[in-house]
Homo-oligomer: A and B are copies of this chain.
Amino acid sequence: MRNPNWTFDTSQCPGFKRYEVIDRVERDSWIHHTEHWHVRTPTRYALVNITGLAESAIARSGLWDGQALISAMHITAGVYINDAESGLLQDLATWFERLAPAKPDYLHHQTGEDNADAHLKSLLTHHMVTVPITRGELDFGTWQQIFYAEFDGARDKRILIKLMGLSSSP
């Protein structure tokens, strides 16, 4: 990892700028609520804990029971669920780099790009998760935290969250 500058939550990462409600559909007791989050991490690589952002979006949506699809809208970033312990975050970074190293000789770089490793890292972490929402909250185990994994940052990017489910009142 060339820039092991991990940011652990969005309040420490000024690149998490704003959310935009893209669409909202309500029918009877059904809610579909879609947001794009606009982000720009200061560094090329970053693992950012977005659990709090997801909780805020759940509150905004009014969802009582259902799911949220959280997905990177770019192909050089990932979304995954794991631990927020700082040593482990560095272990993850080392591991991503070992399995999907940054190096010059990818064929993709013949187009002028230099980020083929970021595409491989995106596949390795997977670009999306679906999270369960029960009684208005993330139905998570104690240590589960949602992370945005940026592998080609320092540019404007977006994360999608689409919440789908039932409101609390029938």
Residues of B within 8 A of A162 (CB): 67, 132, 134, 139
- Chain A interface residue number, banded: 35 or more
Q: Is A30 an interface residue (CB 8 A)?
A: yes
Chain B residues within an 8 Å CB radius of A81: 75, 127-128
How far, in angstroms, from A164 to B122 measured CA to CA in the complex?
Answer: 26
Within 8 A of B (CB), among A1-45: 22-23, 25, 27-30, 32, 34
- The answer on a CB contact under 8 Å between A27 and B28 is yes
| A166 CA / B29 CA spacing, docked (Å) | 13
Chain B residues, Cβ within 8 Å of A55: none
Cα distance A170–B30 in the bound complex, in angstroms = 11
In chain A, positions 68-124 with a C-beta closer than 8 Å to chain B are 69, 71-75, 80-83, 85, 87-88, 90-92, 95, 99-100, 106-111, 113, 116, 119-120, 122-124
Q: Which of A152-170 contact B (CB under 8 A)?
A: 158, 160, 162, 164-166, 170
Q: A29-B27, A130-B69 are in contact. Are A82 and B158 (CB under 8 A)?
A: no
Q: 3 shortest A-B CB distances, which residue pairs?
A: A73-B141, A87-B107, A88-B108
